[in-house]
Amino acid sequence: MIDQILDVIATEGMIPRDKLQDDATIESLGLKSIDLVMILTAIEEKFDVYIPMDGSFQEAKDLKDLVEAISAHILKEKADK
């Protein structure tokens, strides 16, 4: 699942996959708010889940935090269905 999330981030954020390192920050990747919205929307479609824009994703300090928050959310959503 982590690789799939990273693939979406790379595609939607137009970032080379090799630049997606755990310690990369949102800023260092050049992602803007609109990019994050596009990424989260694509992840919602891919995994058939709803992701609130005010979730724990806002607090992510780096890519690892962001991906972990998204994957935890997806697993929780799937478990609740």
Q: What is the mean pLDDT of the chain?
A: 91
Please give the domain boundaries of the chain with CATH numbers for all domains.
2-80 (1.10.1200.10)
For range 20-39, the mean pLDDT: 92
Q: What percent of the chain has pLDDT over 70?
A: 98
Residue type, 30: G
Question: What would the pLDDT profile of 32-66 be if each residue is shown by its tens digit?
Answer: 889 989 999 999 999 999 988 776 777 888 999 99
Spacing of C-alpha 1 from chain mean position:
11
pLDDT at residue 2, rounded to an integer: 93
Put residue 18 in one of left, alpha, beta given phi > 0 → left and psi -120 to 50 → alpha: alpha
pLDDT at residue 64, rounded to an integer: 94
pTM for the full model? 0.89
